[in-house]
Amino acid sequence: MKQTRRGLLLVVSGPAGVGKGTINLSLISRNSDIRMSVSATTRSPRPGEIDGVHYFFKTDAEFQKMIESGAFLEYMRVFNTHYYGTPKSFVEQELAEGRSVILEIDVQGAMRVKAAYPDAVLIFIAPPSMSELKSRLIHRGTESTEAIERRFETAFQEMELVDRYDYVVVNDILDLAIARTEDIIVAERCRVSRNGELIEKLKGGRSAL
């Protein structure tokens, strides 16, 4: 019998530049039973971003319609400018079919997910130090100095909510960070509370002997 039938809802957050995207891509390429949720957003695509792959790019009116029809598991306005939201149907379907889903969303969104789905697993990817984070952001070279400063400020605000997460993974050496995250997933799948059906079956197994 398979361990845990329902997939895990995994929320992976962390400051910009910490490497959470790289960790998540590696997780989905190594584990065919883990999927990434694709968020909807009203911000414009950055060069190289593909609709339906990186985000579902929506107009304000389209996004509002989705809110009204209850299409989001959670949504919010990030940086007071654009909306971001997690479409509910994909997540629900994957979980029901036994696959785990990663939501790469901000800390506020993570709190909303935990409120709505108390068995979601919240993982915070942290930098080895804040100075290391700053130098990674600068070397990434994708943003202006002003944008980097803003993201760095946001990083400090995000760190305030780390104690509401279930796990913290330091991304010092990428391969280690990936292995730690995979270990968390394995441990969560083995939780007694997620294996009620298996345990009941084993307990009632005497009659089949």
| Footprint of ligand 5GP (CB under 6 A) | 39, 43, 74, 76, 78, 84-86, 104-106, 108-109
* Close Cβ partners of 127 (under 8 Å, ≥ 6 residues apart): 14, 15, 17, 18, 133, 136, 170, 171
Place of tokens 């304000």: 60
Sign of CA dihedral 11, 16, 19, 24: positive
CB of 99 to ligand 5GP, least distance (A): 19
- 102 near 8, Cβ under 8 Å? no
* Alpha-helical regions (H) of 123-203: 130-140, 145-159, 174-189, 196-203
Shortest gap between Cβ of 206 and ligand 5GP (angstroms)?
Answer: 48
What's the min distance (Å) between Cβ of 76 and ligand 5GP? 5
Closer to ligand 5GP by Cβ: residue 22 or 108: 108
Q: Shortest Cβ contact with ligand 5GP: which residue?
A: 109
Tell me how far, at minimum, the Cβ of 39 lies from ligand 5GP, in Å. Answer: 3
- Residue among 78 and 198 whose Cβ is closer to ligand 5GP: 78
165 vs 195, beta carbon nearer ligand 5GP = 165
Q: Residue 39 or 195: which CB sits closer to ligand 5GP?
A: 39
Task: Compare residues 155 and 185 and give the one whose CB is closer to ligand 5GP.
Answer: 155
Burial 3-29 (b: 16+ CB within 10 A, else e): ebeebbbbbbbbbbbbbbbebbebbee
Q: What's the closest the beta carbon of residue 119 comes to ligand 5GP, in angstroms?
A: 19
Distance CA 130, CA 1 (A): 45
